[in-house]
C-alpha cells in the first residue's frame, strides 16, 4: 500500500516544548499558587516517564514529594494543571518555542505531494493550537485533517488509543501511514497501532529504547544541515523529505 499520511507527535517532536514550554509553565504555576515546589531539568527528565500533566503532578507527589499532604490530590492536580495550561499558552503566544529543524519544510513538502497530515498527542488541545498558530500561523491548523489530543481517548500514551483514534477518523490503515515520535512512550503507542515510526531524539530521550523504529535520527535535517542517523538503513538522503519517507515506507511494508 502506498504512503498516504503522516501522523506527528507534538511535544519533543515538533518542538522542544517539554524543556522550554511545559517545564517552565509547571514551575510558574507552582509559584503563582504559593507552592514551594520547583522541578529541575533533571527531575523533569524522570517525571516525563508519565504522560499527561495531571498524572505527572500526581506521580511527582507519590514518588518525589511524599511529605506533601493534601486532602484531595485529584482536584489539586486539576487546578494546578488548569493554570499551567494558561501559562503554557501565554508562553507560546510570546513565541517561546521554535519548531525543530526540518519540521516546517517537511509539512510544506508533504502538502505539496498530497500526503495527508494529522497529529497524535497526549497533551491538552489548547497547547497544540497555541504551538501551531504561533509558529506556522493560525491557518496552519487546517493543514491537519485530524488533531488527536489526549482528552479524546481514555488512555494516554504509551497506550495506542490516540493513534487508533486518528486512523479511524482518517479512515486509513496503519500500513498507509508513518508516525513521527521522539520518545519511548511515543513509539510504544504508535507501534501498538501498528504504525511504522521514525524517531527524532532530543536531550530527554536520546537514551530511550527505540526498538522497532524504522530509523532514529537526531532531527529531520535541512538541505544545508544534514541529519545524523543513530540507527537505520543506509541512505543517500541527508534530510527527511517525501522521497526518503517513501523509501522508508517501501522498505518496511
Residue ranges in contact with ligand XBP by CB under 6 A: 9-12, 18, 22, 51-53, 81, 121-124, 127, 150, 157, 186
Nearest CB to ligand XBP, comparing residues 151 and 228: 151
Active-site annotation holds for 11: yes
When asked if residue 9 is in the footprint of Mg ion (CB under 5 A), the reply is yes
Phi-psi region of 60 (alpha: psi -120 to 50; beta: other; left: phi over 0): alpha
Residue 161 near Mg ion by CB under 5 A: no
**Is 230:208 a contact under the CB 8 Å cutoff?**
no
In this structure, the number of other CB atoms found within 10 A of the CB of residue 14 comes to: 25
Nearest approach in angstroms of CB 237 to ligand XBP is 25
CB of 24 to Mg ion, least distance (A): 17
CB-wise, 127 or 215, nearer to ligand XBP?
Answer: 127
- Rounded to a whole number of angstroms, the minimum distance from the CB of residue 81 to ligand XBP is 6
* Residue 155: C-alpha distances to residues 41, 80, 152 (Å): 26, 21, 9
User: Closest approach of Cβ 114 to ligand XBP, in Å?
Assistant: 26
Residue 44 and residue 227: Cα distance in Å, rounded?
Answer: 27
3-state secondary structure of 177: strand
Which cell is 241 given? Answer: 523529505
Burial grade of 2 (CB within 10 A; 0-12, 13-18, 19 or more): exposed
The piece of 93-101, 123-131, 178-186, 219-227 that touches Mg ion (CB under 5 A) is 178-186
Whether 9 is catalytic is yes
Site for Mg ion, rule CB under 5 A:
9, 11-12, 182-183, 186
Catalytic residues: 9, 11
Amino acid at each position: 500500500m502506498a504512503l498516504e499520511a503522516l501522523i506527528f507527535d507534538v511535544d519533543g517532536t515538533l518542538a522542544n516544548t517539554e524543556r522550554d514550554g511545559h517545564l517552565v509553565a509547571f514551575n510558574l504555576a507552582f509559584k503563582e499558587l504559593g507552592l514551594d515546589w520547583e522541578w529541575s531539568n533533571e527531575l523533569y527528565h524522570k517525571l516525563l516517564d508519565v504522560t499527561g500533566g495531571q498524572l505527572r503532578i500526581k506521580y511527582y507527589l507519590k514518588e518525589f514529594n511524599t511529605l506533601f499532604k493534601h486532602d484531595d490530590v485529584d482536584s489539586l492536580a486539576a487546578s494546578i494543571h488548569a493554570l499551567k495550561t494558561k501559562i503554557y499558552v501565554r508562553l507560546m503566544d510570546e513565541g517561546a518555542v521554535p519548531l525543530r529543524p526540518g519540521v516546517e519544510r517537511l509539512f510544506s513538502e508533504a502538502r505539496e505531494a498530497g500526503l495527508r497530515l494529522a497529529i497524535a498527542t497526549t497533551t491538552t488541545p489548547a497547547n497544540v493550537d497555541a504551538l501551531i498558530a504561533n509558529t506556522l500561523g493560525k491557518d496552519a491548523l487546517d493543514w491537519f485533517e485530524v488533531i488527536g489530543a489526549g482528552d479524546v481517548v481514555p488512555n494516554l500514551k504509551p497506550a495506542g488509543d490516540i493513534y487508533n483514534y486518528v486512523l479511524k477518523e482518517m479512515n486509513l490503515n496503519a500500513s498507509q501511514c508513518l508516525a513521527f515520535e521522539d520518545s519511548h512512550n511515543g513509539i510504544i503507542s504508535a507501534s501498538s497501532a501498528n504504525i511504522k515510526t521514525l524517531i527524532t531524539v532530543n536531550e530527554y530521550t536520546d537514551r530511550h529504547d527505540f526498538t522497532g523504529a524504522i530509523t532514529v535520527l537526531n532531527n529531520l535535517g535541512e538541505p544545508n544541515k544534514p541529519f545524523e542517523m543513530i540507527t537505520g538503513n543506509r541512505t543517500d538522503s541527508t534530510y527527511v523529505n517525501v522521497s526518503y519517507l517513501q523509501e522508508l515506507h517501501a522498505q518496511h511494508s
